[in-house]
Amino acid sequence: MKTVRTIEHDLQPTTMQLDDLRVIGIIVGAHGLQGAVKVNPLSDFPERFDALQRVILAKADSITGEYRVKRVRWSGSLVHIQLDTIRNRETAEQLYGTELCVPDGESWPLPEGVYYISDLIGYRVVANDGTPLGILKGILESPQHILEISRDGGEWLVPFVADWVGRINSAERTIEILNWRRLLESETVNENGESDDH
């Protein structure tokens, strides 16, 4: 059974930019009459919510405020969070669709071989022999993640699976593609790792 946690912490105001934040959840509704919000967790580490002390809310590409977390309670797959200055249901309902964020420096450390998707955007995509192939411009979510690789004259869509993706080098900001010669012969690769020739 999930625990209920209540805390009180004094926070110093900080000036944050969107680029300094990592989204860990989306507010999907209000809970009760005292202004608690229901959050759909987006983090791979749901236990991180039990340790939250502060959050930053963002919507429509702008930061709407920084809040102290007063109470955290789990209800099924959702987490109910009471924020310090949200005191009624009407105010909480207005936060629907708002992103719940934490400063990037407070992100949980990842196991080896696991990456935050947002960190990979902009990485150079290279062949396993070092040949430049393009730039990672996005990652699509489907039954499995799909890499959107921008290249001269178009783009490639490549499954983020071991058969296609080799070493990811964070120091050099590169992603290695293994079957790159097949890419040169096709426009995209389907989710089964098969070339879709046009």
Strand-by-strand arrangement of the 154-159 sheet: 154-159, 146-151, 132-140, 124-127, 174-177, 165-169
Distance CA 12, CA 165 (A): 43
The predicted model scores a pTM of 0.57
The segments of the chain whose pLDDT lies below 70 read 1-16, 44, 107-111, 116, 118, 141-143, 186-198
Tell me the pLDDT tens digit for each residue of 179-191: 888 877 765 554 4
CATH class of 117-189: mainly beta
* Topology at the third CATH level for domain 5-106: Elongation Factor Tu (Ef-tu); domain 3 (2.40.30)
* Residue tagged 């050099």 (tokens): 172
Instruction: In the chain, list all ranges with CATH 2.30.30.240.
Output: 117-189
Residue-wise pLDDT tens digits, 94-118: 999 999 998 877 766 666 777 767 6
Q: Where in the chain is the domain with CATH 2.40.30.60?
A: 5-106
